[in-house]
């Protein structure tokens, strides 16, 4: 056995060799590449051969004497070798074995080793990360009997809940060597950072992990500066993830793209990304835009997809029982268990009740400061609130009497009140200080509104329109990077003049997006005044392609041709080319505006210099240029992409392959295809596999088609949601693999889960579209109607509809009867969809059962979309009594008004059904909530508010460019 093991070991280099280690870009990769190149040139000698050559070297110039195992680590490990001498010795011996210049190899190895050793590794060893509060875990409340607090920590005893188990699975993947990301989604003070902190335990036990927290000079800037340096075994800590991904300055999409590349890079695996988000921030970053609208969060949505873990607001059931059991050892938990309302344990521990008490009992001046901070945050100012802004805005929130009664040191008194800790937790409004001695000093004193009051203010003050003095304070003292967002908030509330002033100030800083809106506002008021356009083009920077595209588009649409020409020339020669998607957008708008020469110049630059990091985006750019008359430049880009595009994102590579064929770049397609098949292709979805089969079949590559088919197991369709099943079955038949298609359809019919509505729908739909009637019958024979849960309503109703379409009348009737009698009625949109479907398939009896349950009584009144769609459905059904019941609950006063389409739909539907009183109530609420333009359109008030309105709601007087500073 030992002889066999020795024989196997000595074969290293002949049978399988020392593989090239996967290492992130940088000096270490260059060193490992050099050593591997020397190793291959030497004929992949065994480790014993290299060791013998070092021991027997006659040149006497080797200062290192590495062991056999050390040689293996020098060649194959992903870390910097501890000894420079051993590294150089291996390089020199391999160079001599390959008959290369040994001195040159030694010099290069020595230099690269030094560079690799001196490159700082982002992050702190996890064993040294011992302060949870530095990672923004909330400080817990203090209690009188703090001497009884367990000695093991400053944090209360931790009681795991369901989300901790889900998070542990993600961490387990990282411990197992797979990069992973988890984002905890929950309201303020629900314990998200604490859960992440506790999840680090397995990594501490495993050893070798680091933690990197980006925050200096700003969170997105720090992330962009060091993202590429993040290496294996690193936890990337992204508390308040929206500050990294939802930015106005264009850094957010770049951070998202960097995170996606980091997670997909096998050379840097494993990494673990831990983030936290409030639900409203998750919705903003992941909600798909309306058709034809811009998609500023596409990159964020891509990286966040599937990473969310919901954190409930309250302890319930077993978790509450476990907490009470654990509370005996910790007085803080005991007090929380005794006094927290409705199971809101984490909120109590974070000092929330005392925060609310402090806020409600605040002096007028202190409350004015808090309100100014709340309004600034909810309208778009970053967390760091300048003291000058708060001090200038607060007096506008005071009555004349309150102002007259203030002492001369009112500001100092108010700040002292808001900064005082709440039972040890942070006070309502506190000064921000540098975290460490090395942190850059801020140029102005800034304050932080505590998270809970931040979220509380967004809810409680969502329909408050701040006074004029607040907007003037923003204009004078807001952070320049937030002026566009704040100006847009003013515009959405009808404060056109305040908006224009902030947008003008932002334009002076080079903000193209602000310039675009500024030009549109002033053109709407004074279409013959060219000064706003001239001002904007003279000051805007073209380093933000999306903002520049917006401005250029606005100039063209508004007829500012002279300024559009000037900006087009700047774009053509100076726009950055980091993102193919941005380059494609700029090229398209130049072509559409008739700027053909600038478009050609941009295409010339793009073809040679644009980043190839995202093959799908590269594909789109290439196709756009080819379609837009830049075929030569598209070919140059195709040459580069075929050779250098990364292959780690299969959908993007497949899109690139398809478009290479479509533009006639067959040679480049062959090159890319050869690269792709040099290693096994990892297909993760049915759609990817179908697309690859199509490309290979169209190219006549039957052998590769068979190879891909062999990689598709029969359960492949059921690993996600079964979408794309019909296309795969059709493709299998197209390539002549009828038996494989039959086997796939049989497996799907026999094994699709009957309790998962979305997957069941895709299976039925896919089998029907593919003409697999036998398999449809086999699936229906399993009686899915009896097993399918009736909630949630949307996917269940889709199954009901397709059952009716394929003629499964008994199954459809059974499912319709269960749904009508048992479905939850709190989701208005789902109930409306079910009611419409029941009527469409002729299930009038079941529709009557559903209506008899009075869905309007059980409907959630905060859901504008649900109320609007249900009103429409009830109206179509002639259910006037149910409409009256629903309207009697006063939805217009209860619906949440936010930036989504729900309130606007509800307003329109109330008007259509003649509910004028509710219509008037809802319309009155909309302007202050940021839906001023929807209010204008619904109420036909455009002429009355031509110049906007003032904070009191009155139509604004005429103003223009000369009235702005």
Q: Which of 647, 590, 586, 591 is nearest to 620 (CA)?
A: 586
**Rounded Cα–Cα distance for residues 127 and 131 (Å):** 11
Any bridge partners for residue 236, and if so which? Answer: 212, 273
pLDDT at 954 over 90: yes
What's the whole-number mean pLDDT along residues 780-801? 94
Helical axes 2-10 vs 47-55, angle rounded to 10°: 80
pLDDT at 437 over 70: no
Query: For residues 597, 600, 605 and 610, what is the CA-based torsion angle, rounded to 10 degrees?
Result: 130
pLDDT at 451 over 90: no
Return the structure tokens found at 847. Answer: 């529709």
Mean pLDDT of the chain: 88
**Rounded Cα–Cα distance for residues 48 and 69 (Å):** 10
Identify the band that residue 955 occupies on the pLDDT scale cut at 50, 70 and 90. very high
Q: What are phi and psi of 185, to 5 degrees?
A: -115, 115
Return the structure tokens found at 601. Answer: 């110049």
What is the pLDDT, as a whole number, of residue 8? 36
pLDDT at 21 over 70: yes
Half-sphere exposure of 505 (CA within 13 A, CB side): 23
Strand order in the sheet with 210-213: 124-125, 210-213, 234-238, 271-277, 180-185, 308-310
Does residue 449 come out as left (phi exceeding 0), alpha (psi in the -120 to 50 range) or beta? beta
Over residues 651-680, the pLDDT tens digits come to 889 889 999 999 999 999 999 988 888 777
What's the whole-number mean pLDDT along residues 231-246? 91
**Rounded Cα–Cα distance for residues 676 and 670 (Å):** 10
Residue partners of 925: CB distance under 8 A and separation at least 6: 463, 892, 893, 897
Instruction: Give residue for tokens 């690859």.
Output: 692
Return the structure tokens found at 368. Answer: 């004015």
**Rounded Cα–Cα distance for residues 21 and 611 (Å):** 25
pLDDT at 721 over 80: no
What is the pLDDT, as a whole number, of residue 6? 34
**CA angle (310 as vertex; 221, 453 as ends), nearest 5:** 65
Over residues 271-322, the pLDDT tens digits come to 999 999 999 899 889 988 766 667 788 889 989 999 999 999 999 999 888 8
Over residues 396-410, the pLDDT tens digits come to 999 999 999 999 999
Residue 753 and residue 759 in contact, taking contact as beta carbons nearer than 8 Å? yes
What's the whole-number mean pLDDT along residues 792-814? 94
What is the pLDDT, as a whole number, of residue 250? 75
Residue partners of 324: CB distance under 8 A and separation at least 6: 337
- Could you give the 3-state DSSP secondary structure of residue 6? helix
Burial of 224 from C-beta contacts in 10 A (0-12 / 13-18 / 19+): middle
pLDDT at 19 over 90: no
**CA angle (901 as vertex; 377, 283 as ends), nearest 5:** 50
Over residues 35-94, the pLDDT tens digits come to 988 888 888 888 888 988 888 877 667 778 888 888 988 998 878 888 888 898 899 989
Residue 138 and residue 193 in contact, taking contact as beta carbons nearer than 8 Å? yes
| Alpha carbon distances (Å) from 56 to 49, 89, 277 | 10, 12, 61
% of the chain surpassing 70 pLDDT: 94
Cα 395 versus chain centre, distance: 38
**Rounded Cα–Cα distance for residues 805 and 837 (Å):** 11
Q: Do strands 429-431 and 234-238 pair parallel, antiparallel, or not at all (unpaired)?
A: unpaired
Alpha helices in 725-842 (DSSP H): 725-734, 738-751, 757-769, 773-780, 784-787, 793-805, 809-822, 828-840
DSSP class of 956: P
What are 68-75's contacts with CB under 8 Å, separation 24+?
Answer: 71/47, 72/12, 72/18, 72/47, 74/35, 75/18, 75/35, 75/36, 75/39
Instruction: Give residue for tokens 């600038």.
Output: 598
Least confident of 243-247, 337-341, 369-373, 480-484: 337-341
Q: Which of 907, 905, 828 is nearest to 860 (CA)?
A: 828
**Rounded Cα–Cα distance for residues 490 and 379 (Å):** 8
Q: Which of 193, 197, 27, 228 is nearest to 129 (CA)?
A: 197
**Rounded Cα–Cα distance for residues 310 and 319 (Å):** 15
Identify the band that residue 342 occupies on the pLDDT scale cut at 50, 70 and 90. confident
Burial of 842 from C-beta contacts in 10 A (0-12 / 13-18 / 19+): middle
Over residues 103-159, the pLDDT tens digits come to 888 888 888 888 887 777 788 899 999 899 889 888 887 765 555 554 445 788 899
| DSSP secondary structure letters along 391-412 | HHHGGGGS-HHHHHT--TTHHH
pLDDT at 391 over 90: yes
Instruction: Give residue for tokens 């013959």.
Output: 528
Alpha helices in 666-714 (DSSP H): 666-676, 686-698, 702-710
Q: How many CB atoms lie within 10 A of CB 133?
A: 14
Over residues 488-516, the pLDDT tens digits come to 999 999 999 999 999 999 999 988 889 99
pLDDT at 906 over 90: yes
**Rounded Cα–Cα distance for residues 48 and 56 (Å):** 12
Over residues 820-850, the pLDDT tens digits come to 999 999 899 999 999 999 999 999 999 999 9
Half-sphere exposure of 842 (CA within 13 A, CB side): 8
% of the chain surpassing 90 pLDDT: 53
Asked if residue 948 has a cis previous peptide bond (ω within 30° of 0), the answer is no
Residue partners of 237: CB distance under 8 A and separation at least 6: 135, 196, 211, 212, 213, 214, 274
Over residues 842-863, the pLDDT tens digits come to 999 999 999 999 999 988 888 8
What is the pLDDT, as a whole number, of residue 289? 76
Any bridge partners for residue 310, and if so which? Answer: 185
**Rounded Cα–Cα distance for residues 263 and 268 (Å):** 8
| Alpha carbon distances (Å) from 859 to 303, 430, 831, 939 | 34, 41, 9, 27
Burial of 368 from C-beta contacts in 10 A (0-12 / 13-18 / 19+): buried
Instruction: Give residue for tokens 């059980």.
Output: 858
**Rounded Cα–Cα distance for residues 613 and 616 (Å):** 9
**Rounded Cα–Cα distance for residues 838 and 847 (Å):** 6
Over residues 744-756, the pLDDT tens digits come to 999 999 999 999 8
What's the whole-number mean pLDDT along residues 180-192? 93
Return the structure tokens found at 79. Answer: 């870390």
Any bridge partners for residue 431, and if so which? Answer: 447
Q: Which helix (H) or strand (E) holds 516?
A: helix 512-525
What's the whole-number mean pLDDT along residues 393-422? 95
Over residues 534-563, the pLDDT tens digits come to 999 988 888 778 778 888 888 888 887 788
pLDDT at 574 over 70: yes
Q: Do strands 271-277 and 234-238 pair parallel, antiparallel, or not at all (unpaired)?
A: parallel
Looking at per-residue pLDDT, the higher value among 99 and 276 belongs to 276
What is the pLDDT, as a whole number, of residue 897? 85
**Rounded Cα–Cα distance for residues 678 and 514 (Å):** 48
Q: How far apart are the first and last CA of the chain?
A: 88
Any bridge partners for residue 181, and if so which? Answer: 273
Q: How many CB atoms lie within 10 A of CB 6?
A: 11
**Rounded Cα–Cα distance for residues 683 and 688 (Å):** 6
Residue 551 and residue 512 in contact, taking contact as beta carbons nearer than 8 Å? yes
Q: Find the length of the chain.
A: 965
């Amino acid at each position: 056995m030992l002889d066999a093991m020795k024989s196997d070991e000595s074969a290293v280099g002949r049978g399988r060799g020392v593989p090239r280690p996967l290492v992130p870009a940088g000096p270490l990769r260059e060193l490992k590449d050099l050593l591997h190149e020397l190793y291959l040139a030497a004929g992949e000698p065994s480790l014993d051969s290299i060791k013998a050559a070092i021991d027997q070297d006659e040149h006497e110039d080797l200062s290192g004497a590495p062991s056999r195992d050390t040689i293996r680590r020098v060649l194959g490990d992903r870390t910097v070798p501890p000894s420079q001498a051993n590294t150089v010795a291996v390089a020199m011996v391999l160079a001599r074995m390959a008959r290369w210049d040994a001195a040159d190899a030694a010099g290069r190895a020595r230099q690269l080793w030094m560079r690799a050793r001196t490159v700082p590794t982002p992050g702190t060893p996890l064993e040294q990360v011992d302060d949870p509060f530095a990672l923004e875990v909330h400080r817990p409340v203090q209690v009188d009997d703090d001497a009884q607090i367990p000695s093991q920590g400053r944090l209360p005893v931790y009681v795991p809940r369901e989300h901790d188990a889900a998070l542990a699975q993600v961490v387990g993947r990282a411990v197992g060597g797979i990069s992973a990301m988890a984002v905890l989604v929950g309201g303020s003070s629900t314990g998200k950072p604490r859960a992440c902190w506790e999840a680090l335990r397995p990594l501490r036990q495993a050893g070798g992990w680091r933690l990197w927290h980006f925050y200096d000079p700003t969170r997105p800037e720090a992330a962009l500066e060091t993202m590429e340096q993040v290496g294996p075994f690193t936890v990337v800590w992204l508390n308040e993830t929206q500050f990294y991904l939802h930015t106005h300055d264009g850094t957010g999409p770049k951070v998202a793209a960097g995170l996606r590349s980091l997670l997909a890079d096998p050379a840097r695996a494993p990494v673990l990304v831990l983030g936290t988000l409030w639900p409203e921030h998750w919705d903003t970053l992941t909600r798909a835009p309306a058709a034809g609208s811009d998609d500023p969060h596409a990159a964020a949505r891509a990286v966040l997809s599937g990473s969310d873990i919901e954190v409930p607001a309250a302890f319930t059931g077993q978790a509450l029982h476990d907490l009470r059991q654990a509370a005996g050892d910790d007085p803080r938990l005991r007090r929380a268990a005794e006094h927290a309302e409705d199971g809101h344990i984490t909120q109590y521990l974070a000092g929330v009740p005392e925060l609310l008490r402090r806020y409600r009992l605040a002096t007028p001046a202190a409350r004015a400061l808090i309100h100014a901070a709340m309004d600034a945050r909810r309208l778009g100012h970053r967390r760091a609130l300048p003291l000058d802004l708060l001090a200038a805005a607060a007096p506008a929130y005071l009555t004349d009497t309150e102002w007259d009664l203030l002492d001369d040191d009112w500001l100092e008194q108010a700040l002292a009140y808001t900064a005082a800790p709440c039972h040890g937790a942070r006070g309502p409004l506190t000064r921000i200080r540098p975290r460490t001695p090395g942190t850059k000093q801020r140029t102005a004193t800034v304050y932080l509104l505590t998270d809970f009051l931040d979220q509380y203010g967004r809810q409680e003050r969502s329909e408050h329109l701040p006074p004029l003095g607040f907007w003037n304070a923003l204009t004078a003292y807001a952070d320049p990077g937030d002026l566009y967002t704040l100006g847009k908030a003013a515009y959405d509330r009808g404060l056109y003049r305040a908006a224009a002033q902030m947008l003008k100030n932002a334009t002076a800083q080079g903000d193209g997006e602000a310039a675009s809106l500024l030009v549109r506002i002033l053109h709407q008021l004074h279409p013959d005044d060219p000064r706003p356009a001239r001002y904007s083009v003279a000051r805007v920077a073209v380093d933000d392609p999306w903002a520049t595209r917006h401005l250029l588009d606005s100039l063209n649409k508004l007829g500012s041709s002279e300024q559009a020409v000037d900006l087009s020339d700047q774009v053509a020669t100076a726009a950055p080319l980091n993102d193919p998607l941005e380059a494609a957008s700029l090229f398209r708008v130049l072509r559409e505006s008739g700027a053909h020469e600038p478009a050609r110049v941009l295409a010339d630059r793009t073809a040679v210099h644009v980043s190839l990091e995202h093959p799908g985006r590269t594909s789109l750019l290439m196709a756009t240029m080819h379609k837009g008359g830049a075929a030569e430049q598209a070919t140059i880009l195709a040459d580069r992409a075929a050779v250098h595009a990364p292959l780690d994102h299969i959908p993007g590579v497949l899109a690139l392959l398809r478009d290479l064929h479509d533009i006639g770049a067959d040679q480049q397609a062959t090159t890319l295809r050869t690269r792709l098949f040099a290693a096994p292709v990892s297909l993760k979805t049915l759609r990817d596999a179908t697309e690859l089969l199509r490309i290979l079949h169209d190219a006549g590559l039957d052998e590769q088609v068979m190879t891909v088919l062999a990689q598709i197991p029969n359960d492949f369709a059921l690993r996600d949601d079964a979408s794309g099943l019909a296309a795969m079955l059709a493709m299998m038949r197209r390539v002549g693999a009828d038996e494989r298609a039959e086997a796939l359809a049989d497996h799907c019919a026999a094994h699709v889960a009957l309790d998962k509505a979305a997957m069941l729908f895709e299976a039925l739909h896919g089998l029907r579209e593919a003409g697999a009637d036998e398999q449809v019958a086999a699936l229906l024979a399993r009686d899915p109607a009896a097993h399918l849960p009736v909630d949630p309503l949307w996917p269940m109703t889709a199954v009901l509809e397709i059952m009716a379409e394929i003629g499964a009348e008994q199954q459809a009737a059974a499912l319709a009867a269960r749904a009508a009698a048992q479905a939850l009625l709190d989701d208005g949109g789902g109930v409306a969809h079910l009611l419409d479907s029941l009527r469409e398939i002729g299930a009038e009896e079941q529709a009557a059962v559903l209506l008899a349950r009075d869905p309007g009584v059980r409907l959630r009144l905060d859901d504008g979309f649900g109320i609007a769609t249900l009103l429409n459905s009830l109206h179509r059904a002639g259910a006037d009594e149910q409409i009256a019941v629903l309207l009697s609950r006063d939805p217009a006063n209860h619906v949440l008004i936010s930036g989504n389409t729900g309130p606007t739909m509800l307003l329109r539907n109330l008007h259509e059904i003649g509910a004028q009183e509710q219509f008037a109530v809802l319309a009155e609420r909309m302007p202050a909530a940021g839906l001023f333009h929807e209010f204008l359109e619904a109420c036909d008030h455009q002429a009355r508010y031509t110049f906007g309105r003032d904070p009191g709601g009155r139509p604004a007087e005429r103003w223009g460019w000369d009235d702005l500073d």
